[in-house]
Amino acid sequence: MTTPARSGVFDTVTDRRVEEFTESVSFDRRLYAHDIRGSIAHAEMLATVGILTAAEAGLISQSLREIGDRITAGKFVFENSLEDIHMHIEQALIDQIGDVGRKLHTGRSRNDQVSTATRLWIRDALARLDQGIADLQLAFVGRCDHDAGVILPAYTHLQRAQPVLASHYWLAYCEKFQRDRDRLTDCQRRVNTCSLGSAAVAGTSIPIDREDVARRLEFNSLSRNSLDVSSDRDFVLETAFVLTMVAEHLSNWAEEWILWSTVEFDYLALPHQFCTGSSIMPQKINPDVLELIRGKTGRVVGNLQSLLVLVKGLPLAYNRDLQEDKPALFDSFDTVESCLQLAVPIVAGAELKRGSIETGLERGYLDATTLMEYLIQHGVPMRSAHHAVGQLVNKARQRNVPLGQLGLSDFQECHADLDESVFEVLGVERAIQSFSSYGSTAPAQVERQIADWKRRLASDMEAAIAVENR
Ligand code: ARG
């Protein structure tokens, strides 16, 4: 490729070290397809307003598509002297079609060009991410049928608290990931704004039609202030935050399942094709993938941190610092995407160890709170009921039995009015049946929510397929 002569003001070539230090093509080449899409829309608009002839715009678009194909095929040579992907593509165009190619950059600058290509790239990447999270939600909902009727301890402070249905656990993660998807949709609204046509910083005197470009690129709004756009990376930071929350949720889940797969918990068998062995200890089945999902969250948090620090000291408007946004952005996407790709089959393929879970279920007094609520419903003030059940738990602990194995006299000692019906709320099975509030682990509540999730995810899927088939 021809290296263009430097612009008129310079009397000497750029120092090679500067070229190496300032290049971004080594990472921003990932934007090539989106840059080309933006340039084609720009060229077509220039023809609409009469700056280019239709034939010129056609030639430019056709050549840009060929350049895109060459890049896709790996037949394109990149060199640092051309700084970034945008200059590479423009120079290739000029090499191919000469003076007509020299007209493409009319009425735009790399500042709005970079912003637009990045927005287009993020828009696609967020749609992919949404699908990846939906797949994970589907895997969790799929577990609900698989694990129907299984009861697990819920923990607070990692101490046994109350019994819950296994499905209640799975739907808890569906909720967390749904909030991530909602955040993603909200973030997408601001990403999906057309910044092209803001030019360098103040707009342009060329009679461009920004709305035409926005329509061609399927943006849903038009940026209003060129000075703002030139400096704006909010959409990149927001995206990085959305990705960080997904990573955090994945990390929480991974940590939980690492614990559950230990001999100490013995709740869960991880699918062997997603575990690794030890080079010295023959018995080991290690949850390395889960550990790395937890570990890689660190770099996603780090990327967000880098971006926040990157922009904090910048005056209006474009500053070259902004070029540094892309390594962090791409890395967060790649990392979260690869974590999701592994999380889905692990969630779907793990097996709860029903026997071991059940054997231990009466340990830890998971029914104590239900007993307290039973007392409250029989007229005992809450604080008194709390105290009384605490004493009953102490008694049971001393005898090393569950609450259900205390005698009626023990309960009556605690509260004179109690009768045999107290045993109806004792034991985790019966405790589960006694829940009733909205959002609780009450079986009827959970059933309704499973049905809701199935309906919601199926309609999301239909919508995604409709978009794909457009
Ligand atoms: N490579 C730069 C980036 O990605 C291009 C922007 C160039 N603008 C400029 N005024 N130097 O941000």
pLDDT digits (tens, 9 = 90+) for 324-369: 999 999 999 999 999 999 999 999 999 999 999 999 999 999 999 9
Q: What DSSP state is assigned to residue 329?
A: H
Cα of 109 vs centre of ligand 1, distance in Å, is 9
- The region that residue 352 occupies, defined by phi over 0 for left and psi between -120 and 50 for alpha, beta otherwise, is beta
What band does 416 get if pLDDT is binned at 50, 70 and 90?
A: confident
Cβ neighbours, 10 Å, residue 155? 14
370-394 pLDDT, tens digit per residue, is 999 999 999 999 999 999 999 999 9
Mutate to test the pocket of ligand 1, among 121, 232, 323 (most ligand atoms within 8 A of CB): 323
Residue 104 CA to residue 51 CA, distance in Å, equals 10
* Residue 458 counted as domain residue: no
What is the SS3 assignment for 312?
Answer: coil
**How far is the C-alpha of 398 from the C-alpha of 421, rounded, in Å?**
24
Residues 271 and 149 reside in one and the same domain: yes
Q: Does one domain contain both 29 and 91?
A: yes
Residues 321 and 391 in one domain: no
pLDDT tens, residue by residue, 43-55: 999 999 999 999 9
Q: Which residues pair with residue 351 across a beta bridge?
A: 269
| Residue 442 forms part of a structural domain | no
Catalytic, 440? Answer no
Q: Is 278 a catalytic residue?
A: yes
Domain shared by 92 and 192, yes or no: no
Q: Where are the beta strands (DSSP E) in 143-249?
A: 151-156, 159-165, 193-194, 221-222
Whether pLDDT at 117 is above 90:
yes
* Residue 265, in any domain of the structure: yes
Mutate to test the pocket of ligand 1, among 19, 80, 114 (most ligand atoms within 8 A of CB): 114
Question: Within a domain: residue 277?
Answer: yes
Show the 3-state SS of 436-456: CCCCCCCHHHHHHHHHHHHHH
Which two tokens mark 351? 């097996």
Q: At 295, list the tokens.
A: 């570990």
Q: For residue 414, what is the domain's CATH number?
A: 1.10.40.30
**Residue 115 neighbours by CB under 8 Å, 6+ apart:** 195, 196, 198, 229, 230, 232
Give the confidence band of 421 by pLDDT, cuts at 50, 70, 90.
Answer: very high
Domain-embedded: residue 467: no
Domain co-membership, 119 together with 161: yes
Is 285 a residue whose pLDDT tops 80? yes
Cα–ligand 1 centroid distance for 332 (angstroms): 22
Tell whether the torsion through CA atoms of 195, 196, 198 and 199 is positive or negative.
Answer: positive
- Length of the chain, in residues: 470
Domain that holds residue 141: 111-359
Position 463 in a domain: no
Q: Are residues 129 and 195 in the same domain?
A: yes
CA gap 424, 403 in Å, rounded: 12
Domain boundary among 52, 85, 106: 106
Backbone angles phi, psi at 351, to 5 degrees: -125, 130
Is residue 87 within 6 Å of ligand 1 at its C-beta? Answer: no
Q: What is the mean pLDDT of residues 129-158?
A: 98
Q: What is the pLDDT of residues 175-201, one digit of tens each?
A: 999 999 999 999 999 999 999 999 999
Flag whether pLDDT at 5 surpasses 70: no
Give percent of the chain with pLDDT exceeding 90. Answer: 94
CA distance 255 to 290: 7
CA angle 172/176/182 to nearest 5° reads: 140
CATH number of the domain bearing residue 172: 1.20.200.10
If one counts the domains in the chain, the total is 3
Residue 1 confidence (pLDDT) above 80: no
> Tokens 């707009």 label which residue?
203
- The b-or-e profile of 380-406 (16+ CB within 10 A means b, else e) is beeeebeebbeebbebbeeeeebbbeb
Whole-structure pTM value = 0.96
**Does 159 share its domain with 49?**
no
